[in-house]
């Protein structure tokens, strides 16, 4: 089993593009061909991958690690839009027109990425029409998620938003533990605050309250144990 240079042992037979859903309709041979077009790069924690206003000439596929996509508001506060992890891709929106990046992308930890150039990507689109359909589906999913987030931001109380975020993290980053669900948080308190659009202090306070009520237990800054999922679901929905 060959390993491609970009991948850790987790890499499946050297085909790291296999992880990406937009290529899922292709067979092994086609994947190998695409794999050969790919360049690799590794980013350190805190390193900027795309700067707002850049015109990146490739699409990024994350192999290992995670990144945050964010913008600054005029008054200097950071709004996190996405957290992308292994298997996710980003940058496709800049391949079509000649658009500038609408947000910054920064590595949250050591991150390995695969890159496909603009022209190669376009060739693939004409060669394999199924890819375009996959992309449309992915974009629709992402759009649906944004609609969900927008609704949360607009309507829900801060308590409900925090509960919803914890539940989301439990699904994506959680693992079963004897006392509950252990969540490895992708973001710091400050990061979560910037994602939810609230002050860092507020999320500290709210998490303390949740801990007092035995809904969660703070294990460390980077992980939380979810004790009472049902109560959180309740919080995320009903309570105003």
User: Nearer to DNA by C-beta: 189 or 229?
Assistant: 189
Q: Which does 48 bind (CB under 5 to 8 A by kind): DNA, a copy of itself, none?
A: none
Q: 200-212 and 189-196 helices cross at what angle (nearest 10)?
A: 110
Q: Does 159 bind DNA (CB under 7 A)?
A: yes
Binder of DNA out of 207, 216, 227, 235 (CB under 7 A): 207
Q: Which does 200 bind (CB under 5 to 8 A by kind): a copy of itself, DNA, none?
A: DNA
User: Nearer to DNA by C-beta: 6 or 203?
Assistant: 203
Binder of DNA out of 5, 8, 48, 188 (CB under 7 A): 188
Q: Provide the 3-class DSSP secondary structure of residue 65.
A: coil
Selected range binding DNA among 18-26, 96-104, 163-171, 190-198, rule: CB under 7 A:
190-198
Q: Does 217 bind DNA (CB under 7 A)?
A: no
Q: Does 225 bind DNA (CB under 7 A)?
A: no
* Cα–Cα dist 120/1, whole Å: 26
Instruction: Please report, as ranges, the residues that interact with a copy of itself according to CB under 8 A.
Output: 71, 73-75, 77-79, 81, 92-93, 96-97, 102-103, 125-126, 129, 132-133, 135-137, 139-140, 142-144, 146-151, 153-156, 160, 194-197, 237-240
Using CB under 7 A, which residues numbered 95 to 134 contact DNA?
none
* Cα–Cα dist 153/145, whole Å: 12
| C-beta atoms surrounding 186 within 10 Å | 20
Residue 21 is classified by DSSP as: G
Among 217, 197, 220, smallest CA distance to 207 is for 217
Selected range binding DNA among 13-21, 129-137, 173-181, 195-203, rule: CB under 7 A:
195-203
List own/partner pairs for 143-147 with CB under 8 A and 24 or more apart: none
User: Nearer to DNA by C-beta: 14 or 197?
Assistant: 197
What are the C-alpha distances in Å from 234 to residues 148, 171, 229?
17, 16, 9
∠ Cα 240 181 196 (to 5°): 40
Q: Does 208 bind DNA (CB under 7 A)?
A: yes
Q: Which does 207 bind (CB under 5 to 8 A by kind): a copy of itself, DNA, none?
A: DNA
Q: Does 37 bind DNA (CB under 7 A)?
A: no
Residue partners of 202: CB distance under 8 A and separation at least 6: 158, 193
End-to-end CA distance of the chain: 54
Give the residues lining the site for DNA (CB under 7 A): 157-159, 188-190, 197-205, 207-208, 218, 220-221, 240
């Amino acid at each position: 089993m060959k390993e491609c240079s970009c991948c850790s042992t987790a890499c499946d037979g050297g085909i790291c593009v296999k992880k990406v859903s937009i290529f899922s309709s292709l067979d092994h041979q086609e994947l190998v061909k695409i794999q050969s077009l790919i360049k690799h790069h590794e980013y350190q924690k805190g390193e900027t991958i795309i700067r707002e206003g850049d015109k990146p000439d490739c699409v990024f596929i994350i192999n290992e690690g995670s990144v945050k996509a964010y913008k600054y508001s005029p008054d200097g506060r950071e709004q996190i839009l996405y957290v992308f992890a292994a298997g996710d891709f980003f940058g496709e929106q800049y391949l079509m027109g000649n658009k500038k990046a609408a947000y910054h992308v920064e590595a949250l930890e050591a991150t390995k990425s695969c890159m496909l150039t603009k022209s190669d990507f376009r060739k693939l689109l004409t060669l394999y029409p199924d890819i375009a359909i996959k992309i449309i589906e992915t974009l629709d999913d992402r759009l649906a998620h944004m609609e969900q987030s927008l609704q949360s931001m607009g309507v829900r109380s801060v308590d409900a938003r925090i509960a919803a975020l914890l539940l989301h993290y439990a699904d994506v980053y959680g693992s079963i533990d004897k006392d509950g669900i252990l969540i490895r948080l992708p973001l710091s308190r400050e990061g979560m605050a910037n994602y939810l659009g609230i002050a860092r202090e507020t999320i500290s306070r709210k998490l303390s309250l949740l801990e007092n009520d035995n809904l969660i237990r703070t294990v460390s800054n980077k992980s939380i144990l979810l004790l009472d999922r049902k109560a959180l679901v309740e919080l995320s929905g009903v309570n105003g």
